[in-house]
Structure 1
Amino acid sequence: MEQKFYQGLALRVRDMADRADPFTRRRLLDLAKRYDAKGDPSSRSGASERPLPQSRTPPLTSIFSGPGEA
C-alpha cells in the first residue's frame, strides 16, 4: 500500500513538472525520483535508513534518587 502511495506522488509531481519552468521542473523531477525510490520494494534495506543521532546530553538524574526523609 505504501508503494502505491509513493508511486502516486511521483506521478503527480511529474505532472506538475510538465507545466513548470526549467528550474522548478528539474527540482520536481528530482523529487519524483526520490518518491520512486521510496516506493520501489526492491530498494528497501535497513542500510538505506539513517541511524538516530547519539544524544549529546547526559541522562537526567532524579532529585529523589538518594535516601530521603518522609
Structure 2
Amino acid sequence: MEEFYKGFAQRARDLAQNADPFTRRRLLDLAQRYDLKSRPGSGSARPNPPPRATPPNVLFSGSGET
C-alpha cells in the first residue's frame, strides 16, 4: 500500500508542475497527504467513522401519501 500512495503523490507533483497557482497548491497539498499515508505506522490515517444509525423501519412503512 505504501507504493500505491507514493505513486499517487508523485503523480500529483508531476501534474502540479504545469498547473495554475490555485490548482498547483491543491495538488501539492494532496501529494503531501499521500506522502503521510505512505509512511507505515505514521498514525496519520483517519479512523473509520462510526456506522450510521438508521431509523426504525416502521417510520417508512406507510404508503407515502398523506
Same fold (TM over 0.5): yes
- Moved beyond 6 Å, runs of 4+: none
| Percent of matched pairs sharing the same residue | 53
How high is the TM-score relative to the length of structure 2? 0.71
Q: Which has the larger radius of gyration?
A: 1
Aligned match of 1:51 in 28, 49, 52? 49
State the distance in 1 between where 2:21 and 2:52 align.
Answer: 40
Name the structure 1 match of 2:64: none
Unaligned runs of 5+ in 1: 62-70
The one-letter code matched in structure 2 to 1:7 is: K
Secondary structure of the equivalent of 1:43?
coil
Q: What is the root-mean-square deviation in Å for CA atoms of aligned residues?
A: 2.2
Give 1:26-37 correspondences, 5 Å limit.
Answer: 26-37=25-36
CA contact (8 A) 2:37 2:44 kept: no
Residues 45, 37 of structure 1: CA spacing in aligned structure 2 closer, same or farther, 3 A cutoff? closer
CA contact (8 A) 2:9 2:32 kept: yes
